[in-house]
Amino acid sequence: MSKVNNKTMKYNKQQWKPGTLIYPLPAVLISCGETEEEYNMLTVAWVGTICTNPAMCYISVRPERHSYDIIKRTKSFVINLTNEDMARATDWCGVRSGKYYNKFQEMHLTPQKAQKVSAPIILESPLSIECEVIEIKELGSHHMFIANVVNVQADDRYIDPATDEFRLSDAKLIAYSHGHYYKLGEEIGKFGWSVRKNKKK
């Protein structure tokens, strides 16, 4: 039992079978390929941070996806964050296969050669994270590509010229939650705000 606003509320929990219900997640476009002819994008929500130092990320991909073999062979990919302007492309690239479509052309997005890896970045993305695969874990329905982050490219439209701060919050990022895409809401706090002491006037 917990008291909220002086009213006693009762919480009831249903028991479900095990499932991957950690939401919301970033909705990212993964770009891959060594040549312009094989450049491809796929939408991935099974993505995350593994380590800060060294910087490491992962993506999990079904082996039947067209991009799976490309990433496995080239050992590189780019995690491209997506925003409201890229929402349709993000969904479309998740349900169409690069085996049958040139996704960059279909979605009017621009591949650009990355700085450190063979895979291209998506020029329209507010942030592109270049990754080199160091291990592949075959887990079941998905295989996990564990990678070192070797470079990050940030769109200077979101860099405050006065403070040099990268304001990713201005990029209008989108998130994925249980089959749906959402805009991000307003900021409710900053890291450490819960323990920060108020400054004396």
Q: Where are the domains positioned within the chain?
A: 22-183
CB atoms within 10 A of CB 97: 14
What proportions of the chain, in percent to the nearest 5, are helix, strand and coil? 15, 40, 45
H or E element in which residue 131 lies: strand 127-138
Options 3.40.1360.10, 3.40.50.720, 3.60.15.10, 2.30.110.10; CATH for 22-183 is 2.30.110.10
Give the C-alpha separation, 144 to 66, whole Å.
Answer: 15
* Residue 145 burial by Cβ neighbours in a 10 Å radius (0-12, 13-18, 19+): buried
Digit-by-digit pLDDT tens for the chain (201 residues) are: 445 555 677 899 999 999 888 999 999 999 999 999 999 999 999 999 999 999 999 999 999 999 999 999 999 999 999 999 999 999 999 999 999 999 999 999 999 999 999 999 999 999 999 999 999 999 999 999 999 999 999 999 999 989 989 998 899 999 999 999 999 888 888 889 888 877 655
